[in-house]
Amino acid sequence: MKNVVVIGSQWGDEGKGKIVDWLSQKADVIVRFQGGHNAGHTLVVDGITYKLKLLPSGIVRKNKISIIGNGVVLDPWALLHEIKQIERLGIRITNKNLYVAENTPLILPLHKELDGIREDAKNTDKIGTTRRGIGPAYEDKVGRRAIRVVDLANKKILLKRLDMILFHHNSIRKGLGKNTINKQKLINDLSKVSPKILKYSKPVWKVLDELKRKRKKILFEGAQGVLLDVDHGTYPFVTSSNTVAGATLSGTGCGPDSLNYILGIVKAYTTRVGEGPFPTELKNETGNKIGKRGNEFGTVTNRKRRCGWFDAVLVKQSCLISGVNGIALTKIDVLDQFKDLYVCVAYKLNGKKIDYLPSSLQDQIKVKPVYKHFDGWLKNTKGIKKWNQLPKKAQQYIKFIKNYCGVKISSISTSPKREDTILLENPFK
């Protein structure tokens, strides 16, 4: 029995949804351990497209348990809306196949409002957030004033917690010249939603321990990517949680012995949504062509993604930080029509060559990529399911990524469809 962690090894949008769904046929349990409804996963199953934000990707499969861990920040209204949307597509969701950790902090309307106020402020740098209240909710969690799922079960406790959080937020809003929060409306809104959320509430750490003792296979599903990690990413242009594999433990209540295989999802080129450094970005027709062929628009925001050549330096760095055992390479077919391809193998900073992305934002902006050239294969790879059917030049491109990053390639995705995958190693075995 193996438990597998799936993480994005770039700036997110690597195709985790398809890979997690594909792997979930071997798993019994699928767990989200960080992030919120700012992370989108698109699945195409039997011709039906599912767009998930909070729900684990395993929810679209029968006889699987899906879990939202305590490392997630949960917008209860967004969750209920998403459940309705998925149920319209024929998926039945009950408290038998969906659990929510009782110690999960909530995103409230006041968090979304503060997110928007900050992004619109003229005297601050725009981070490019999704304006869904993720950052402010994590701030309240760390500040020990968050409302958690379990608080919804006790009105007396809930009112006390609300007084604490409103004292903080109203102080900020007054300073910004904004109206204070209508406490009674917030109480009424929470009262309506509470029973609908509480029915999914569980002590997830305990549930996971019991499932492990029963030797159930657990798939831990990360959101965003390592380069957006609040500690290890391109700070401050990052998300508000830890996206590295280690966050699986604190985000679910599992011990280190629970993780047996770390799978890093890697796109065959590089994309980024929002602001921040991007050494290999292509602000030209080539970048536009990659984006068009790859359909590079955000699942959650529909924002156009910035596109560039594959950055092997960053992927190697991400793999080392998260202890990646295998790479799932996605979207190789997007590169089919390019005569010339380039891979970043180093940076130049102040005249010196370096083999990592430094932590300083100023240095991250200044680094210049050093490229290795590859001949494009100019042949169709879409739908290929066997390694030996790939063009030789595509094989050479993939082998270089493997050797440079020092991590084996476990699978190669050749289209958004679940079945269009070249399996080289099964992480569950």
Question: Given the DSSP bridges, would you call strands 340-349 and 368-375 parallel, antiparallel or unpaired?
Answer: antiparallel
Per-residue model confidence as pLDDT tens digits over 104-155:
999 999 999 998 888 877 666 666 677 889 999 999 999 999 999 999 999 9
**Token pair belonging to 329:** 């390479």
Whether 304 shows a pLDDT value over 90: the answer reads no
User: Which residue among the candidates 21, 37, 41, 111 is catalytic per the annotation?
Assistant: 41
pLDDT at residue number 17: 77
β-pair partners for 148: 105
Closest by alpha carbon to 69, among 31, 28, 38?
Answer: 31
- Which of 13, 115, 140, 229 is an active site residue? 13
List pLDDT tens digits, range 56-71: 988 988 899 999 999 9
pLDDT of 316 strictly over 90? yes
CA-nearest of 170, 179, 228, 199 to 95 is 199
* Cα–Cα dist 145/159, whole Å: 12
Taking the chain, what is the end-to-end CA distance rounded to the nearest angstrom?
7
Residue type, 15: G
Distance CA 102, CA 260 (A): 26
C-alpha 425, offset from chain centre: 23
Residue 13 CA neighbour count, 13 Å, CB half: 23
pLDDT in tens, 325-337: 999 999 999 999 9
Q: What residue type is 308 in one-letter code? A: G
Q: Is 169 a catalytic residue?
A: no
Residue 287 near residue 308 (C-beta atoms within 8 A): yes
pLDDT of residue 131: 85
Give the model's confidence band at 290: pLDDT under 50 very low, under 70 low, under 90 confident, else very high.
Answer: very high
Of 33, 205, 220, 210, nearest to 102 by C-alpha is 205
- Residue of 196, 250, 189, 165 lying closest to 80 (CA atoms): 196
pLDDT class of 21 with cuts at 50, 70, 90: confident
Q: What is the 3-state secondary structure (H, E, C) of 362-403?
A: HHHHHCEEEEEEEECCCCCCCCCCCHHHCCHHHHHHHHHHHH
Active site residue 13: yes
Cα–Cα distances in angstroms (integers) from residue 422 to residues 120, 147, 327, 363, 377, in the given order:
45, 44, 12, 38, 18
Closest by CA to 419, choosing from 25, 88, 6, 111, is: 25
Q: Which residue has the tokens 């990707």?
A: 57
pLDDT in tens, 156-165: 999 999 999 9
- Asked if 401 contacts 332 with a C-beta cutoff of 8 angstroms, the reply is no
Rounded to whole angstroms, the Cα distance separating 190 from 119 reads 26
What pLDDT is stored for residue 305 in this prediction? 93
35-44, 93-102, 253-262, 411-420: range with lowest mean pLDDT? 35-44
Q: 6 with 16: CB under 8 angstroms?
A: yes
CA distance 175 to 179: 10
Q: Is the full-model pTM beyond 0.75?
A: yes
* Higher-pLDDT residue of 388, 49: 388
Task: Measure the CA angle with vertex 336, ends 333 and 337; round to 5°.
Answer: 140
CA 89, CA 421: separation in Å to the nearest integer? 25
- CA separation for the pair 103, 144 (Å, rounded): 12
